[in-house]
Amino acid sequence: MDKIVIEGGVPLKGEVKISGSKNSALPILAATLLAEGTCRIKNLPLLKDIETMLKILEFLGAKIKIRKKAVEINTESVKNIPAPYDLVRLMRGSVCILGPLLARFRKAIVSLPGGCIIGPRPIDLHLKGLEKLGAEIEIDKGYIKAKAKKLKGRRIFLGGTFGSSVLATANLMMAAALAEGETLIEFAAGEPEIVDLANFLNKMGAKVKGAGSHLLRIKGVKKLRGVSYRIIPDRVEAGTYLIAGLITRGKVSIKGAISGHLGAIIDKTEEAGAKVEIKKNSLYVENSQWPLKSVNLITLPYPGFPTDMQAQFMVLMCLSEGTSVITERVFPRRFMHIGELNRMGADIVVEENSAIVRGGRKFVGTRVMASDLRASAALVLASLAAEGKTEISRVYHLDRGYEGLVEKLTGLGAKIKRTN
């Protein structure tokens, strides 16, 4: 099993290029199941989750050609066979093949995606929405079995316990694209990744309006065609490198970042005293004012502060002056990284769904263990700012969401290596 070794205390300097968005790529790859002809998806990040989704499509019968940062997918020979547990269990995002398969074949069998260490992520909103469209759904021996004589547009309210659901919105948008009549999705997710999926569907010939708002209107069409499409940059990766530049007191240019997708992250770092310069297609961060000050934070669905950046921002607050309260409203149990940060010298206590961070601390290098994707990123950030050497084990989590992390950080001057 691989580990990452980091010698901390080196200011990061230089330019880093942001990869394509994983959270856009997964539903867009699933949406190719709807197309007649070949789709060419560009700016595809080379990640473990992307590899898994391509394996699922290939298992179903798709013909796939990978060419550097692009993939050509022809789904004309796809068969309506059960999507297997051995592949679906590897990531939650694989459930988004359910809507396209049901829309195309009027029936689908997909394994339940399984549990997640950051807390429960039920798929009840997916199933509720598909039933509204006319599907009959049964859960049998760990598989979702869905069938429908036809899908018919309806009004669907998609609000959940912790707000809107990105994957449920994506699943229903894809199913409704080939449904009869008009579908209204109320309380839809408004994330940039949903807008990206809507743009892809519309380029294929779908009629989706309102993407980015909480009300989607989808007028069903008879068929969709294969197209060429470029995925947006990954806003979470961009935010992670922004924090990396700040905590190492460096000077980092983040190329390809879309500042409009990072509003809440930029706002909170500026509230803490950082200076973020917004340029065309890039951000520039230079930590000339140290220490920063502690600020309170609440994670919320977009355009609120993203839960996928909570752990990374917590690292910054550990080093800032004062006490901050970080409240998790999306995944209340998403604090698995706190124990390891405390081992490195942080002072964090958890009260229900809030973490109280006493800042002004120093991180000290030691051996730590990653528990999930974003927790892994937080440990890498803490290690970059730590005194001495840190060894991070179970780094396979990083392969799911950060393309070329070690290489990109090395390019910024970090003393980092990956070893077995």
Q: Please report, in range form, the residues annotated as the binding site.
A: 22-23, 92, 121-125, 308, 330
Residues in the chain, total: 420
Look up residue 151 and give its two tokens.
Answer: 């899908």
* Contact (CB, 8 A) for 70 and 42: yes
- State yes or no: is 116 an active-site residue: yes
Q: Hunting for tokens 């699922």 — which residue is that?
A: 56
Annotated catalytic residue within 39, 96, 116, 318: 116
* Contact (CB, 8 A) for 218 and 207: yes
Which residue ranges make up the annotated binding site for phosphoenolpyruvate? 22-23
Q: Which residues pair with 145 in a beta bridge?
A: 109, 138
291 burial (CB, 10 Å; 0-12 / 13-18 / 19+) is middle
Which residue ranges make up the annotated binding site for UDP-N-acetyl-alpha-D-glucosamine? 92, 121-125, 308, 330
| Separation of first and last alpha carbons in the chain | 6
Give the sheet arrangement for strand 70-74, strand by strand.
Answer: 63-67, 70-74, 38-42, 228-230
Picking from 14, 5, 13, 7, the residue whose alpha carbon sits closest to that of residue 363 is 7
Picking from 364, 417, 355, the residue whose alpha carbon sits closest to that of residue 388 is 364
Residue 121 CA to residue 113 CA, distance in Å, equals 10
Give the sheet arrangement for strand 251-255, strand by strand.
Answer: 13-17, 251-255, 282-286, 276-279
Residue 313 CA to residue 172 CA, distance in Å, equals 32
Backbone angles phi, psi at 287, to 5 degrees: -90, 85
- At 364, the amino acid letter reads V
Q: What is the largest CA-CA distance in the chain?
A: 64
What are the catalytic residues?
116
